[in-house]
Amino acid sequence: MASALCFVVLLCLTCGLWTGANVSIIHSVLETVCPAGWTQFGDHCYIFQFTPKDWADAETTCVAIAGNLAAVHTKEQYTFIKDMIKRSTGSDVETWIGGEDATKEGVWLWSDGSKFDFKLWPAGEPNNAGGAENCLEMNYNGNPNDKNCNEKKSFVCGKAL
């Protein structure tokens, strides 16, 4: 009787572990696919939002859909997002992404908390023109640019897979 009980316990444990393993595999696969409407590049998903908002409202909108304004760490990532915007709009629309130096001038941060290692500024940028440019836009004459955060622009949200 004791050996039969031991067998039943082992069988139940084995079934439970197997089921858990299957759930884990399924969960892992689902986490590598972007939600509907989002576009994948590398290990991130992006979505272009047409509705113009100021930088803070754009970030709030991205957070509400489980993301942040997009952080850009490589030229390839920047090019991908720029191309995604052009496919969506037919032009190089000025668009908010997640960089800002509003807390301390010249100390740029990404809204998602990742390290700000952005090296794609054109000559003379960021320039904080008029002492009021603390947010990062793409596509200002085709380039990144610091801009007044209160301006309303389309924006790109991003999130890690």
Would 136 be classed as within a structural domain? yes
Is 18 contained in some domain? no
C-alpha–C-alpha distance, residues 52 and 93, integer Å: 11
Q: What pLDDT shows up at residue 32?
A: 72
Q: What pLDDT was estimated at residue 31? A: 57
Whether pTM > 0.85 for this model: the answer is no
147 part of a folded domain: yes
Q: What is the pLDDT of residues 7-57, one digit of tens each?
A: 443 444 444 544 544 544 444 444 579 999 999 999 999 999 999 999 999
Range 130-155 average pLDDT: 97
pLDDT in tens, 55-65: 999 999 999 99
Residue 150: give the domain boundaries: 39-113+125-160
| Domain annotation covers residue 108 | yes
Residue 142 domain-assigned (yes or no): yes
> At 64, phi and psi to the nearest 5?
-65, -20
pLDDT at 78 over 80: yes
Q: What is the CATH number of the domain that holds 58?
A: 3.10.100.10
The answer to whether residue 58 is domain-embedded is yes
Pairing between β-strand 153-160 and β-strand 95-100 as defined by DSSP bridges = parallel
Residue 28 in domain: no
Residue 77 lies in a domain: yes
DSSP helix, strand, coil percent of the chain (3-state; round to 5): 35, 25, 40
Report residue 128: phi and psi, to 5°.
Answer: 50, 45
Number of domains in the chain: 1
